[in-house]
Structure 1
């Protein structure tokens, strides 16, 4: 099966390592396992090589056993080791591998894309490069590393969260998240420099209220002597009494600014009338189709004219149309899955087979999944929940 191809290639790589170490039995075992998972021409050729090497080794042992103990074995009795066959490649393939490896962690450059690329463009570029640099297609040195780098670039750019992290600072988002976790561990274990948290920022912004403190600061306070706690409270109380009313107004100023901003946002907010619908009506009478996924939608010709004249606004709105449409399909697909599972459970009957209805079970199992099928046609995986 095609899904076992990667595992078959991994077994073939292990078999080659065993043969290079002189372990012919291990090489033969993993070569047969590779062919059983997914028969490739490379594995079949290597199997013939391993069998020939095993035969030569067996004949060499037999010849050595028949030689008289006092005689020296002749030079013809030794079996020359057969070097592993080198993968064929063209200079263009080797140059392409070097170009991919030179991109480093610039994943847009790896996939030959720009930062404004869409999900469809990412998938198309990945499919094209994965076929071109797969170890079965490209035998140039470093092709395996280039293929892994292409897969890594697709993993990062196809995930919205990882892509946002990559766009913000570049590099590998997973490596950055690992270093961040290490810094957080040092912070809460009491070692190294401390980072500012959301609670620290809240204290600085609103004047340092009594309860909102850093967790490490609270732990330190618990182990202080009661005398120091009482003295600190007296000092804080005296300082608060010395503060002028102006200081109180300054502390309340950020809250007033937030309230004013919320009020102005409500006054100057735009009309909440939707820009599009998926069903035609007397108002939304103009039919359109998105550029990437070809999703049909309907707009109001009067209010849509300013958006149609600006490419950026039109592209942003069509992304919203496609996202909402895909999310809706995904919800219907999950409902179809639950309905099919419920019908199959009812038709299966009890644990001991009581009440089993074979006809209803087959009907439930073959129930049409229109939304899931449409997701597949759009290039999305129906097993993944898109929210």
Structure 2
């Protein structure tokens, strides 16, 4: 896998140092480890050199001691060495290794991972996943990095097959689950009493008992402290007064039903004005939105429903307001895609740059990443907007 290339070169350097100091066993060990991480021609050539040096030293030792080794033992020893060297690397074809590198280079662009476009259907997503899953399964593909490629394909299918995760991915790119983890942790912190109050008196053991249902004296002591807190004392007093008032007042039932009546009234009003929530325009044509229009200032194309848009088109101030909304939404979308393009270019340049010490530097890939097309950013510049400004 391309990510392990720097570590493979480091192991090869250690192996060369071992061979120079006379430690042939250590040199053989780190050479095999380098090939296992990332097979290179340099490492394979050095492995042959180490094996030659090891066999020559063993033969010279046998001659110096005067031991006569049977030819069958010599052949079994050489076959064992050959099988050990070949077992460090699974069998695979160059096409499989190239396909694995292509999948891993896609990063978090899940459409590119599954070889699909943003307009793909759910059936196409499932079909592409079945095909790639069989092709890159570690039992079918022995190339280095096939396991990581298989996991990336499964991750892409998980995101694109979920409409909500797919919408988040289309809006900002990347892994939507990674971006939502911080928001969920904040909600959990608030839900379980973060931010002061009686939780400042709780220990780590108390939190463990609270989350995982632990019993014992500690939990009982926490409950006693909890119900002695002024907040719970006031709450119990308020509940007692409400209970007493309910028994005294005959209208208590109507008071309890009032929130339900308010919700029902809100649902009825929302249903009456539901027609106003229908969008006036789209950026893609459809059966209902078949009439193509362009904004007056920036010439942004959009599509409307002819019958529904006629009252807006007949009044100039309404038309100008809708077109400003179209332009703002279009520019915001371009800005999101522009930021995503910049992140992809930075990621590819970092990969091509290699490690801090220069290992793994690929000049061709670096120049290709630096000259990557930035369609959304260029479109914003043509429209007179600065991509560096967050709209």
Q: TM-score, normalised by structure 1?
A: 0.36
TM-score normalised to the size of structure 2?
A: 0.36
Q: Which is richer in helix? A: 2
